[in-house]
Amino acid sequence: MTTTPPQTGSLFDALRSTAVRDTARLRELYERPSDLVSRKAVDRIHEAARRFIACASLVFVASADADGHCDATPRGGPAGFVAVLDEFTVAVPDATGNKRLDTLHNIVSTGRAGLLFVVPGRESTLRINGRACVSEDPELLARLTPVGKPPRSAIVVAAEEVYQHCPKSFLRGNAWKPERWLAPDAMPSSAEITLSHLRDPSLTMEDIVQSERESLLYRYE
d(CA 92, CA 81): 7
- Top pLDDT among 209 and 53 is at 53
Q: Provide, rounded to the nearest whole percent, the portion of the chain with pLDDT above 70.
A: 94
- Delimit the domains of the chain by residue range: 38-172, 182-215
pLDDT 10s digits, 161-203: 999 988 899 999 999 999 999 998 899 888 888 888 988 889 8
The model's confidence at residue 65, banded by pLDDT at 50, 70 and 90, is very high
In this prediction, residue 5 has a pLDDT band, given cuts at 50, 70 and 90, of low
Report the pLDDT value the prediction gives residue 101, as an integer from 0 to 100: 93
- What is the per-residue pLDDT across 112-147, written as a single tens digit (0 to 9) for each? 999 999 999 999 999 999 999 999 999 999 999 887
Mean pLDDT within 35-54:
91
Least confident of 34-48, 153-167, 184-198, 206-220: 206-220
Confidence of residue 8 (pLDDT cuts 50, 70, 90): low
Are 128 and 91 within 8 A, CB to CB?
no
Gap between the Cα atoms of 209 and 215, Å rounded: 10
CA pair distance 131, 176, nearest whole angstrom: 32
Architecture of the CATH domain 38-172: Roll (2.30)
Q: What is the pLDDT of residue 220?
A: 44
Neighbouring-strand partners of residue 93? 154
Q: For the beta carbon of residue 192, count every other beta carbon within 10 angstroms.
A: 13
pTM of the predicted protein model = 0.86
